[in-house]
Chains A and B, each alone.
Chain A
Amino acid sequence: MNDSAGSRSRGTRSQGDRVLLLFVALAGLFVVVLFAVEPASRAAQGDEASSKPPSDHVSENDRQFWSFQKIARPGVPLAAAASRVRTPVDAFIVSQLEAQALSLSPDADRPTLLRRVCLDLVGMPPTPEAAAEFLADQSPDAYERLVDRLLASPQFGERWGRHWLDVAGYVDTVGFDVDVDLIITSERKWLYRDYVIRAFNDDKPYDRFLHEQLAGDELVDWRGASKFTPEIRELLVATGFLRNAQDLTHEDVGNIPQNHFGILHDTLEIVGSSLLGLTLNCARCHNHKFDPVPQEDYYRLMAAFTPAYNPGEWKIVIPYDKQSLPDRTLADVSLADRTEIERHNAVIEQQIAELSKKLDELRRPYREKLLEQKLAAIPEPIRADTQAAIALPADKRNEVQKYLAGKFEGQLKVSAEEIAAALGETDKGAAAEIAGQTTDLAGRKQTFNKIQALFDVGPPPGTSGRRLALARRFTARDSRSAGLLARVMVNRLWQHLFQTGIVPTPENFGMGGAAPTHPQLLEWLAAQFVESGWTIKPLIRLIVCSSVYRQSADPLQVAHSARASSRDPAQIDPGNRLLWHMRLKRLDSEAIRDCVLAACGTIDPTMGGPPILLEGKPDGLIVVAESKLPTPTAKWRRSVYLLARRAFQLSELAVFDQPVVATNCPERARSAVPLQSLALLNGALVWEQADKLAARIEETSAFSVDDRIALAFERALVRRPSADEIRESAQFVEHQAGLYRSQGLDAQAADHKALVHLCHTLMNTSEFLYTP
Chain B
Amino acid sequence: MRRFSTIDHPRAQCGATSRRAFLRESAMGIGAVALAHLLAGEGMLSADPAAGSKTRLDLRPRPGHFTPQAQSVILLFQNGGPSQMDLFDPKPELTSRNGQVYAEKVEVLQPGNSDQLMASPFPFKKHGQCGMELSDRLPHLGSIADELCLVRSMYTENNNHPQALRHFLTGKTFPGRPTLGAWVSYALGTENQNLPAFVALRDPKGYNSGSSLNWDSGWLPAVYRGTEFQSQGSPVLNLHSAVELPAGAQQADLDLLARFNEKHHRRFPNEGDLEARIRHYELAARMQLSAERALDLASETEATQTLYGMDKPPTADYGKRCLMARRLVESGVRFVHIEAPVRTPWDSHSNLKQGIEEIALKVDQPAAALISDLKQRGLLESTIVVWTGEFGRLPVSQNGNGRDHNRNAFGLFVAGGGFKKGYIHGATDEFGYRAVEGRVGCPDFQATLLNQLGLDHEQLKYFHNGREETLTDPAVSRARVADELLA
Residue positions of A touching B, CB distance < 8 A: 176-182, 248, 252-253, 256, 258-259, 265-266, 279, 281, 284, 289-290, 504-505, 507-508, 510-514, 553-556, 570, 574-575, 584, 586, 618-621, 646-647, 651, 655, 657, 660, 662-663, 669-679, 681-684, 687, 725, 728-729, 732, 735-736, 739-740, 742-743, 757-758, 760-762, 764-767, 769-770, 772
Contacts and interface: CB of A to CB of B under 8 A. Distances in A.
Interface string B229-252: 010111011111111001111101
Contacts of B349: 253
B260 interface: yes
A662 B241 contact: no
A732 B52 contact: no
18 contacts: A176-B211, A178-B207, A179-B206, A252-B111, A513-B466, A553-B268, A619-B232, A651-B237, A669-B222, A672-B276, A678-B237, A683-B238, A683-B242, A736-B253, A740-B246, A761-B260, A767-B264, A769-B277
A764 B221 CA distance: 23
B280 A179 contact: no
A634 B254 CA distance: 32
Contacts of B237: 619-621, 651, 655, 675, 678-679
B277 to A, nearest CB: 5
Contacts of A671: 57, 221-223
A757 B280 contact: no
Nearest to A290: B466
A46 to B, nearest CB: 37
Contacts of B259: 728
Interface of B: 52-54, 57, 109-111, 158, 160, 162-163, 174-176, 196, 204, 206-213, 216, 221-223, 227-228, 230, 232-234, 236-243, 246-250, 252-254, 256-257, 259-261, 264-265, 267-271, 273-274, 276-278, 280-281, 283-284, 287, 342-343, 349, 465-467
A619 B261 contact: no
A675 B234 CA distance: 13
A246 B393 CA distance: 26
Given A181-B206, A511-B466, A678 B238 contact: yes
B211 A765 contact: no
B257 A672 contact: no
Contacts of A182: 206
B210 A673 contact: no
A767 B342 CA distance: 42
A769 B274 CA distance: 10
A281 B207 CA distance: 28
A466 to B, nearest CB: 25
Nearest to A570: B270
A756 to B, nearest CB: 9
A180 B212 CA distance: 11
Contacts of B247: 739
Given A621-B237, A677-B283, A678-B287, A508 B466 contact: yes
A179 B207 contact: yes
B280 A677 contact: yes
A761 B253 contact: yes
A660 B216 contact: yes
A672 B277 contact: yes
Contact of A765 (B160, B216, B264): B264
Q: Which 3 A-B pairs have the closest CB atoms?
A: A512-B466, A671-B222, A684-B242
Contacts of A511: 466
Contacts of B238: 621, 651, 675, 678-679, 681-683
Say whether chain B's binding surface is mostly helix, strand, loop, or mixed. loop
A687 B249 contact: no
Nearest to B233: A619
Contacts of B343: 178-179
Contacts of B57: 671-672
Contacts of A586: 273
A402 to B, nearest CB: 21
A681 B53 contact: no
Contacts of B243: 684, 687
Contacts of B196: 674
A257 B275 CA distance: 50
B198 to A, nearest CB: 12
A620 B236 CA distance: 9
A556 B269 contact: yes
Given A677-B280, A681-B281, 4 more contacts: A176-B210, A507-B465, A766-B264, A766-B265
Nearest to A732: B256
Given A290-B466, A657-B222, A736-B249, A765 B261 contact: yes
B465 A674 contact: no
A556 B109 CA distance: 62
Contacts of A647: 207, 211-213
Contacts of B209: 176, 178
A513 B464 CA distance: 9
B349 to A, nearest CB: 7
A663 B176 contact: yes
Contact of B221 (A281, A669, A729, A762): A669
Contact of A510 (B241, B264, B466): B466
A409 to B, nearest CB: 27
A735 B267 contact: no
Output the residue of A508, A620, A676 with the most chain B CB within 10 A: A620
Nearest to B254: A681
Contact of B230 (A259, A584, A619): A619
B465 A619 contact: no
A620 B233 contact: yes
B186 to A, nearest CB: 13
Nearest to A511: B466
A289 B230 CA distance: 42
Nearest to B283: A674
B176 A662 contact: yes
Contacts of B221: 669, 671
B256 A766 contact: no
A265 B158 CA distance: 16
Contact of A767 (B160, B260, B287): B260
A178 B203 CA distance: 12
Contacts of A574: 270
Contacts of B162: 176, 248
- Between A570, A729, A736, the greatest number of chain B beta carbons within 10 A of the residue's beta carbon is seen for A736
Nearest to B202: A620
Contact of B246 (A655, A739, A765): A739
Contacts of B256: 728-729, 732, 758, 761
Contacts of A670: 273
A505 B222 CA distance: 17
A505 B52 CA distance: 9
Given A279-B465, A647-B207, A681-B284, A673 B253 contact: no
Contacts of B53: 504-505
A651 B234 CA distance: 15
Contacts of B274: 766, 770
A757 B281 contact: no
B339 to A, nearest CB: 10
Contacts of A279: 465
B237 to A, nearest CB: 6
A672 B259 CA distance: 19
Contacts of A687: 241-243
Contact of B249 (A508, A619, A729, A757): A757
A246 to B, nearest CB: 8
B253 A743 contact: no
A52 to B, nearest CB: 26
A508 to B, nearest CB: 5
Contacts of A514: 52
B75 to A, nearest CB: 18
Given A556-B269, A620-B228, A681-B241, A660 B212 contact: yes
B407 to A, nearest CB: 12
B212 A281 contact: no
A361 B342 CA distance: 49
B239 A281 contact: no
Given A258-B160, A511-B466, A512-B465, A281 B174 contact: yes
